[in-house]
Structure 1
Amino acid sequence: MKNAFLNRNCQYLLLLVAFSFSSLTAQNYQKTALGVKTKLQSMDVEVQFYNPTIVRVLKSPEGVAFKKESLSVIKKPQQTKFTIQQQGDVILLKSEKLKVAIDVKSGKVSFNTLSGASLLSEAASGATFTDFNDAGSKTYSINQLFALDKNESIYGLGQQQRGKLSLRNAKINMVQGNVDDYVPFLVSTKGYGLFWDNYSPTVFEDKPESTSFKSEVGDCIDYYFVLGGNIEGSIAGMRELSGQAPMFPLWAFGYWQSKERYKSQNELVGVVTKYRELGVPLDGIIQDWQYWGNNYLWNAMEFLNTEFPQPKKMVDDIHNMNAHVIISIWNSFGPQTKQFKEMQPKGMLLNFGTWPQSGVESWPPNRDYPSGVQPYDPYNPEARDIYWKYLNKGLFSVGIDGWWMDSSEPDHMDFKASDFDIKTYLGSFRKVRNAFPLMTVGGVSEHQRAASADKRIFILTRSAFAGQQRYGANTWSGDVNSSWQSLRNQIPAGLNFSMSAIPYWNTDIGGFFAGAYKKGWGDGTQNPSFQELYVRWLQFGAFTPMMRSHGTDIPREIYNFGKKGEIIYDAIAKTIDLRYSLLPYIYSAAWDITNSQSTMMRALVMDFNDKKVVDMNNEYLFGKSILVAPVVNAQYTPETIVKSNEETGWNKNNDANGTKSQAVTFTQAKSTKVYLPEGTAWYDFWTNEKMNGGQEIEKATTIDEIPLYIKAGSIIPFGPKVQFATEKKWDALEIRVYPGANGEFTLYEDENDNYNYEKGAYSTIKFKWNEKFRTLTIGKRNGSFKGMLASRTFNIVFVDANKKAGIGGSSTFDKKIIYNGKATTVKE
């Protein structure tokens, strides 16, 4: 009996110890209003619910206080219901959408669905802090490892010129550059997004055993997990965190002509005049650098060049031809500018090498006469005020319509490691380096919006960072080389950028550095090798959020390539006309971005559960209906290998093509392979032929057409033939219905400029196609705005292979509907 009693007491004591340990473990966290705080492996860890689907994770060395205010995230955490349970070594938090598990033994945080399916997990012992002296401030280099599923695909991280779509097995050194724009946000085919909220140089690396972010400096590890359900939902979550994209004016979606550079006021206005004389559509002209004069006056934001004697008249002349003008502004200033002289005594300039390196225009730069140009400190709110003061006085006041913010990363030349020690308003340049474009673009955007709501902000910028979509900016891919490989690279570059939650992107049509095509060809415009590349690039550019022709060495205006009736000229004109016919579709897609967090340039993996498209880098959807398969290989000319970059490209003596190519005829039909994703049927845009998805086809092509396919169930409006976007009201739209599946489309209209749409001044009309009953329902018009059409005509076309296809303007319609804003149904 005595032994039995002792055994029972021992068992009791063991249970008591176990219970006490369990209770102690259970108490090893502190509940907060947003989640929990705990200590793991010599780290303070905090998990915060920003809403039921967005979770923030903060880590820092134990006991080390820090203060972190995000530059990208503007959302404040909302009150979210959640529960906390302790299950052994795991602290389990659960919202109505998501489970978060904190393993107190291994230190890892993981994210799971409510049913327990794994979404993302940190690798065990995956967080490290390494002491780092950041220009005299004690901080850390930080690293976080994650464990991804072998079969998931990830995308985003901004724009890279890798030529690949998927980020698996990639190592990317994320430091902003001329042709690389880094955004530390990725999305997964498992339906989540991950935002690494750090602004210092960062290495992303995906290996079979782990995926990691390693940043040079950080007082803490700070990342956000976004449960989106799919890629588009994850993008929407990132925009909820970092800001929504406003509407651009309708004219921003027309055709833009530019080059490096128009050298006089008369030349700039003359280009617009010539387009109007030719009847070729044009909405915008861009003035590149040097309108301010010499390099010592770099970016003076004044027309000091004597070739621009009447800037107000210049702008008025362009406006009187119903076109718009944007102008090059930079993020650095020459030593003789008013901005430099005001900012320098206040410590608002960053003293490192930037463009231009010489005060004398020559190549290579004459270092005996340094330009003295220095970037400004956009992290400093007073510096941003000064920047806008001169921009407003010198350029906005004369009616300039938008800003071309060049070198917004900025150019960092003659790099020295000590440059990162330079002090900014927010600490070392190292600490905030990658956020430079966000701060400088944001400074202009916020000031203009405060000054005027009559004109929508339109900024064309060379670089971007997380959150920049909220500033009315369209990012271009930098000074890319003029080559077929460069063209091929632009497609995955634009798609990954778009999947980084920033929806507006474009590229220099034809490539920027094109001097290699001039040797023996005068200005290069009659070189068949360049003609073919340019036309194919233009056709791709017609299906990007901004259609803009630009480059150096070879002029890009249509009339330089020939005249009406000649094959290259006609191919260019046809492509521009196609862009304009799609403006109702494009403008409605822009509203879908602003209103529903959508994406215009869509990787096929966003919309199709098809293993063959997870790494497809040469096709995409434009909007949700048009499959674009650009021709990205030379078909008529040899594919010349051209090697230059943003440094060597300025050497005008380094032209690569030493001999003229043989005469080329572009009349012969060629062919290219196109993959049609499974899960839907597709219509050939040019022929209306219907084909099943899930197959690769051989598509016949000509120099004036690229493969375009329309998804079954699509409803697409086509606008009138115009010379500029707002020339004609949309009072007689052609509405094409592509049968084969149920579908819908919402036509959006507003006042085309200003911000009245934010006050409800817009209208929407929803079109629905019922495949079973073969009926098109045109819904009641919702909303109103000044100048809205009270009555209009919809010319309905039910597409099949026996009807005319191609650019809008069918001669035969199936139904002609007079629409007065009331719902109506049309039977096929």
Structure 2
Amino acid sequence: MKISHKIVNIASGANVLELETNAAKYRIMLINDEIVRIRCTFDEQFAEEASYALAMTAWEDKMDDLLEERTRVAALPIPYEDLGTHLLLSTSNLKVRVYKEPFAIEITDPNGQVLHSDLKEKSYVKDSLGRLYHYSCMDDDDYFYGFGEKSGYLNKTKRRMRMHNVDTLGYDSELTDPLYKHIPFYIKLNGKSKIASGLFYHNSHDSVFDMGCERSGYWNKYSYFCADGGELDVFFILGPQIKDVIRNYTDLTGKTMLPAKYSLGYMGSTMYYTELEKDSDKAILKFLEKCEQEGIPCDGFFLSSGYTTGQDGKRYVFNWNRDRFQDPKGFVEQMERKGASLAPNIKPGMLKTHPLYAEFAEAGAYIKDEQGERPEIDRYWGGAASFVDFTNPKGRELWKKHLKDAYISLGITSIWNDNNEYEINNLDAQCHFEGSGKEIGALRPIMPNLMALMAKQAIAEVDPDVRPYIVNRAGFAGIQRYAQTWAGDNHTSWKSLKFNIPVILGMGLSGVANQGCDIGGFYGPAPEPELFVRWVQNGIFQPRFSIHSCNTDNTVTEPWMYPGYTQYIRDAIQLRYQLVPYFYSLLFEASTVGSPVMRPLVYEFQQDAKVLEESFDFMLGSFLLVANVLEKGAETRSVYLPEGTDWFDWYTKEWYRGGQTIEQKVTLGSIPMFIRSGAIIPMAPGLRNIHKDVIEELRLLIEPSEESSFVYYEDDGKTNNYQKGDYLKTTISIRNGKETKISFVKEGRYETPLKTVVVDVICKEVAPVQVKLADTKLPMFLEPAEWEASAAGWYYDMEQKTARIKHEYVKDDYDLIINFDVKDLISI
């Protein structure tokens, strides 16, 4: 065993501090005022810089040419003070103390508040099996969030979790570990100081996080990270707010890709249709027709892998079963005419009986055995298979060729990457690694990221203007740059409905803003009616909204499967579509800032001790609290409304002060939702298809008692022209003074199709006495029908306590000015 006990040599470069201890070498770099890199190796020298995960570096890296999205920054100069017992490095926001003996690193804010501290005498360790450990001090009132896709409650304190990609069919969303994603990053929030910070371990070997599960009386309380190999390459990331940690982390690993807008629609899916003996295409087209008949919006269909089935009943990627899909190109065109995209299921494992197996083998495109001579063969769905090596340019190019031939040439621009966990049991199987060679045990979670990148590149090579929609089941840190994800093959149960929420929230806190789960449950018997309704009512708030099933009782989960309950399903999905402008603006925010779409309450209300462990109620963006009904037979729902703001019931606009728990009666149709004071929520009433419908009326729901702002984002939703400035950002701001001013400031050259804007202003205490559009006084109506018939004006809805303001779309910047003075009708 090797343990760094003391520093034996110090060398300083322009922007890196080189340290040698009795056991290991270290490089410390100040990436910026908020990010510190600590790199440790127990080998004779550091490995070459070669990262598929980082989107931002301050050094040359082997993958610079492969990753077009990578940016290079200049690290800060690194002068240090030698204070005898320790070295001191400083940024404007951090103090880094490197203790000489016993060796340890401590990071504080400028006020001396400890943010991270290594466990002295046991900080950096390599054991006799080659495993690497990093031990950190912790307090009993520390809360830990993130870790990627993890089961259980949001706070992972006293949890031990394994980082490993695995195909967890029918998993328990409270207890199963690991799942499909491997993201070695977490956020620590100290319960006393309420300061947040993060640690990202840039290491793709299998690993373990122990967040205080292990205890020893010989040591201060600690947590640890343990990796099976590689280096201890640690990035410390400052908050002090959780949202700051995520912003900085996604600067490192990349922001969420802005997807095609239709991806926010309902995506139909089931394995059932593609397993029919024939005419699966007709079944899917009938599904879309049934959606239209039932008034259920739908914008696409995930095509399960049964479409690839060969004569022997095996699934072969890139193959179309002509009994089930007689004319794939014609089918894609028919789908397009109906306003629905097609996302075919694609798998990276190729069975030995695959018609293309030899072509990939001859090209050397597979991961090879440990001698690097023959394709490695392992278990897979359907039998023995080899796996495409996406660290090999030959594997990448051949994969893209067949993506184009089999799908993109047909007009398909949506790719569903499935079963890509790379469960290769021989960890010494060899990957090309851009010519350097490396074992799969070091690269397993990287493969699904590169698989998604290949889909993005292949589509761009055919048509650089089209915006792709890519979905991945597995992934590593940075997967958000290329794909939407989902939480795999969940079990059909009330528990899955409930605990899939913190699974999704944890992914959002790990930089992956665009994700969801299979609504209704994937594996198990058909959901009972009440469970199905509640799951859809929850699913409409997930960025990925798809009802997807592989039911074990010979049934298929469809929106109308229980006719007596279809109205509840229809109402929920139509609410989802009404909120599409809000969702799309939140995805734009994720693509620029890194913010999650679904946010745990602690993200928005970090100072409220009562929300630090809330796992099931969440915020949709900054302004909407969702408290879904998650219990069978529930007649009431307790909801804690965070302090520091006011809240308004979505339906009645009843006002509640924050910092209290309320009890609401619920029915099967209830979706408890609460509007935060200062809310600005853009909506599109009547939207039914994102592909075909043009939004000409924008509705803004605004609560003006608290000053705030929101960026309403628009572009064409389907091309990459937004990257060339063809977008429109409208910053909507609330300012309070003698009068309430709602300002609209525009940026960008996108020509919006909007013709009318309706602003619903919640009036907490009194109705307006006057409303002006810039300098023009808008007419006030007493009758709603007169207001409806007018081009501009306002009226007060007494039941909703809302002033409804309407005007024609204004292209330039402007203000709405609302006067809430109380008119004295007696003394006039």
The TM tier, using the shorter chain, reads: 0.7 to 0.9
Q: Which of 252, 256, 265 is the aligned partner of 2:281?
A: 265
Offset at residue 774 of structure 1 (A): 4.8
Q: How many matched pairs? A: 722
What is the CA–CA distance in structure 2 between the aligned matches of 1:282 and 1:791, rounded to whole Å? Answer: 25
Over residues 177-200 of structure 1, what are the superposed CA-to-partner deviations in whole Å (9 max), with x where a residue is unaligned?
235122001112232211111111
Partner residue in 1 for 2:428: 421
Partner residue in 1 for 2:548: 550
Identity percentage over the alignment?
A: 25
Offset at residue 800 of structure 1 (A): 5.3
Kept in 2, the 8 Å contact 1:339–1:390? The answer is no
Cα separation, partners in 2 of 1:700 and 1:772, compared to 1, 3 Å:
farther
* TM-score in terms of structure 2 length: 0.83
Give the SS at the match of 1:672. strand
Cα separation, partners in 2 of 1:99 and 1:451, compared to 1, 3 Å:
farther
Partner residue in 1 for 2:771: none
What is the CA–CA distance in structure 2 between the aligned matches of 1:447 and 1:827, rounded to whole Å? Answer: 52
What is the CA–CA distance in structure 2 between the aligned matches of 1:270 and 1:276, rounded to whole Å? Answer: 10
Over residues 642-690 of structure 1, what are the superposed CA-to-partner deviations in whole Å (9 max), with x where a residue is unaligned?
xxxxxxxxxxxxxxxxxxxxxxxxxxxx211111111111111122111
Match runs of 1:194-593 below 5 Å:
194-207=199-212, 209-218=221-230, 220-263=231-274, 264-294=280-310, 298-350=315-367, 351-357=376-382, 371-411=383-423, 416=425, 419-426=426-433, 427-471=438-482, 473-515=483-525, 517=526, 530-553=528-551, 554-562=555-563, 566=564, 568-593=565-590
Tell which deviates more after alignment, 738-747 or 101-110. Answer: 738-747
* TM-score in terms of structure 1 length: 0.83
Cα separation, partners in 2 of 1:324 and 1:147, compared to 1, 3 Å:
same
Q: Which of 615, 618, 624 is the aligned partner of 2:616?
A: 618
Kept in 1, the 8 Å contact 2:167–2:421? The answer is yes
Give the SS at the match of 2:685. coil
Stretches of structure 2 that go unaligned for 5 or more consecutive residues are 1-5, 59-73, 169-178, 190-194, 216-220, 275-279, 368-375, 768-783, 785-798, 820-828
Cα separation, partners in 2 of 1:281 and 1:149, compared to 1, 3 Å:
same
What is the CA–CA distance in structure 2 between the aligned matches of 1:695 and 1:245, rounded to whole Å? Answer: 34
Kept in 1, the 8 Å contact 2:16–2:28? The answer is yes
Partner residue in 2 for 1:718: 683
Over residues 287-340 of structure 1, what are the superposed CA-to-partner deviations in whole Å (9 max), with x where a residue is unaligned?
101212236763331313422110111011110011111111111112343442
What is the CA–CA distance in structure 1 between the aligned matches of 2:30 and 2:802, rounded to whole Å? Answer: 57
Kept in 2, the 8 Å contact 1:503–1:599? The answer is yes
Offset at residue 26 of structure 1 (A): 11
Partner residue in 1 for 2:160: 171
Over residues 50-81 of structure 1, what are the superposed CA-to-partner deviations in whole Å (9 max), with x where a residue is unaligned?
22221111112264453241221131211424
Kept in 1, the 8 Å contact 2:133–2:225? The answer is yes
Over residues 610-647 of structure 1, what are the superposed CA-to-partner deviations in whole Å (9 max), with x where a residue is unaligned?
111111111110111111112111017xxxxxxxxxxx
Partner residue in 2 for 1:792: 756
Q: Which amino acid aligns with 2:559?
A: I
Partner residue in 2 for 1:39: 20
Kept in 1, the 8 Å contact 2:256–2:511? The answer is no
Partner residue in 2 for 1:665: none
What is the CA–CA distance in structure 2 between the aligned matches of 1:674 and 1:812, rounded to whole Å? Answer: 24
Offset at residue 120 of structure 1 (A): 0.4
What is the CA–CA distance in structure 1 between the aligned matches of 2:627 and 2:680, rounded to whole Å? Answer: 20
Over residues 684-742 of structure 1, what are the superposed CA-to-partner deviations in whole Å (9 max), with x where a residue is unaligned?
11221110111111111111222111111101122121220254433222221124322
Cα separation, partners in 2 of 1:713 and 1:291, compared to 1, 3 Å:
same
What is the CA–CA distance in structure 1 between the aligned matches of 2:806 and 2:188, rounded to whole Å? Answer: 45
Kept in 2, the 8 Å contact 1:112–1:119? The answer is yes
Partner residue in 2 for 1:660: none
Q: Which amino acid aligns with 2:211?
A: D
Q: Which amino acid aligns with 2:132?
A: I
What is the CA–CA distance in structure 2 between the aligned matches of 1:435 and 1:492, rounded to whole Å? Answer: 24
Offset at residue 535 of structure 1 (A): 0.9
Partner residue in 2 for 1:8: none
Cα separation, partners in 2 of 1:65 and 1:316, compared to 1, 3 Å:
closer
Cα separation, partners in 2 of 1:131 and 1:439, compared to 1, 3 Å:
farther
Give the SS at the match of 1:598. coil
Partner residue in 1 for 2:115: 119
Match runs of 1:622-637 below 5 Å:
622-635=620-633
What is the CA–CA distance in structure 1 between the aligned matches of 2:582 and 2:53, rounded to whole Å? Answer: 31
What is the CA–CA distance in structure 2 between the aligned matches of 1:443 and 1:403, rounded to whole Å? Answer: 10
Cα separation, partners in 2 of 1:62 and 1:215, compared to 1, 3 Å:
closer
Offset at residue 440 of structure 1 (A): 1.9
Partner residue in 1 for 2:66: none
Q: Does 1:50 align with 2:31?
A: yes
Give the SS at the match of 1:702. coil
Over residues 447-482 of structure 1, what are the superposed CA-to-partner deviations in whole Å (9 max), with x where a residue is unaligned?
3334423221211111121011111x1111111100
Partner residue in 2 for 1:682: 647
Offset at residue 236 of structure 1 (A): 1.2
What is the CA–CA distance in structure 2 between the aligned matches of 1:773 and 1:27, rounded to whole Å? Answer: 67
Offset at residue 753 of structure 1 (A): 1.1
Q: Which of 632, 636, 650 is the aligned partner of 1:671?
A: 636
What is the CA–CA distance in structure 1 between the aligned matches of 2:805 and 2:54, rounded to whole Å? Answer: 49
Partner residue in 2 for 1:74: 55
Give the SS at the match of 2:757. strand
Over residues 510-544 of structure 1, what are the superposed CA-to-partner deviations in whole Å (9 max), with x where a residue is unaligned?
111132x5xxxxxxxxxxx6111111111111111
Match runs of 1:15-30 below 5 Å:
28-30=9-11
Cα separation, partners in 2 of 1:278 and 1:800, compared to 1, 3 Å:
farther
Kept in 2, the 8 Å contact 1:296–1:373? The answer is no
Kept in 1, the 8 Å contact 2:377–2:384? The answer is no
Kept in 2, the 8 Å contact 1:298–1:373? The answer is no
What is the CA–CA distance in structure 1 between the aligned matches of 2:264 and 2:657, rounded to whole Å? Answer: 32
Cα separation, partners in 2 of 1:790 and 1:730, compared to 1, 3 Å:
closer
What is the CA–CA distance in structure 1 between the aligned matches of 2:8 and 2:395, rounded to whole Å? Answer: 49
Q: Which amino acid aligns with 1:575?
A: A
What is the CA–CA distance in structure 2 between the aligned matches of 1:769 and 1:150, rounded to whole Å? Answer: 41
What is the CA–CA distance in structure 2 between the aligned matches of 1:790 and 1:716, rounded to whole Å? Answer: 16
What is the CA–CA distance in structure 1 between the aligned matches of 2:364 and 2:100, rounded to whole Å? Answer: 47
Tell which deviates more after alignment, 243-252 or 764-773. Answer: 764-773
Task: Answer 1 or 2: which has greater helix percent.
Answer: 1
Q: Does 1:691 align with 2:659?
A: no
Give the SS at the match of 1:67. coil
Q: Which of 696, 709, 732 is the aligned partner of 1:767?
A: 732
Give the SS at the match of 1:262. helix
What is the CA–CA distance in structure 2 between the aligned matches of 1:423 and 1:62, rounded to whole Å? Answer: 21
Offset at residue 827 of structure 1 (A): 0.6
Cα separation, partners in 2 of 1:500 and 1:789, compared to 1, 3 Å:
same
What is the CA–CA distance in structure 2 between the aligned matches of 1:280 and 1:221, rounded to whole Å? Answer: 51
Q: Which of 135, 155, 159 is the aligned partner of 1:145?
A: 135
What is the CA–CA distance in structure 2 between the aligned matches of 1:261 and 1:330, rounded to whole Å? Answer: 18
Cα separation, partners in 2 of 1:241 and 1:67, compared to 1, 3 Å:
same
Match runs of 1:54-65 below 5 Å:
54-61=35-42, 63-65=44-46
What is the CA–CA distance in structure 1 between the aligned matches of 2:392 and 2:800, rounded to whole Å? Answer: 56
Stretches of structure 1 that go unaligned for 5 or more consecutive residues are 1-24, 133-139, 358-370, 518-528, 637-669
